Amino acid sequence: MNQQPLLEMASLEIHFGRGRGRVKAVEEVSFKLARGGAYGLIGESGCGKSSVLRAIAGLNDHYGGSILFDGRELSPRRDKHWFKRVQMVFQDPYASLHPRKTVAKVLREPLRIHRFKDEERRIDRVLDEVGLGAAFRYRYPHQLSGGQRQRVAIARALVIEPELLLLDEPTSALDVSVQAEILNLLVRLRAERGLTYLMVSHDLAVVTHLCGRVGMMHAGRIVEELDEADVRAGHTREAYTRAFLAASAA
């Protein structure tokens, strides 16, 4: 068995602004994500969780510390090879799909960029996998519900067969009933494809549905790591985590 973590953060630091306006958004964040595992960063708004995800995704190359992927330190600029292996699903499926592109076009683009040959077969297969089916090829985003759009966004991420999915609050823009459907889809896809997930969310129930391990963030730091059983049993060391769990259960 390969014991090397697929993703490892070592003392990640992120600042915004300069001089007196300089804000330390992330401080000394370290964690490891095993291949095939699912890790959730959780915390209230402003704790720094999205900043961590954005730095990993290559959307912010101003960070300190190191990010290791498959045992190698990443340079701050990500290359095409990285995007073949790592894909991101964003919070808002309304904003993340181009309004004038059909579903098939949205899915064909990454296949072309990464030079896959059997584009049309892969499009049909991934649409089946996300529970939409090939008939959705010809739809435009305005002809889709929020949940269907998020399924397309997930299909777009998965169509090039990445290893790691970065999930930024993937259900928080959706109705509660649809949230559960999308979470169940993500659980199934991870099992079927042996994917690795890193997710950020402010919602404990969402994170524990998907992630076996959780990093509790507060004021830019991971104050405590918990596994699923700890969360369920309310086993925590830190008063902040206890208060967060209590508020989430209320």
Contacts with ligand ATP by CB under 6 A lie at 16-17, 23, 25, 43, 45-51, 202
By beta carbon distance, the residue nearest ligand ATP is: 50
Nearest residue (CB) to ligand ATP, 47 versus 207 = 47
Token pair for 100 = 């004038």
Nearest residue (CB) to ligand ATP, 189 versus 223 = 223
- Is-contact 102 47, C-beta < 8 A? no
Nearest residue (CB) to ligand ATP, 17 versus 64 = 17
Length of the chain measured in residues: 250
CA distance 70 to 82: 11
Nearest residue (CB) to ligand ATP, 132 versus 198 = 198
**Least CB distance to ligand ATP at residue 48 (A):** 4
| CA 56-59-61 angle, 5° bins | 75
Nearest residue (CB) to ligand ATP, 42 versus 127 = 42
**Least CB distance to ligand ATP at residue 60 (A):** 8
- Is-contact 226 212, C-beta < 8 A? no
**Least CB distance to ligand ATP at residue 90 (A):** 12
**Least CB distance to ligand ATP at residue 238 (A):** 17
SS (H, E, C) 113-160: HCCCCCHHHHHHHHHHHCCCCHHHHHCCHHHCCHHHHHHHHHHHHHCC
Token pair for 102 = 């059909």
**Least CB distance to ligand ATP at residue 106 (A):** 25
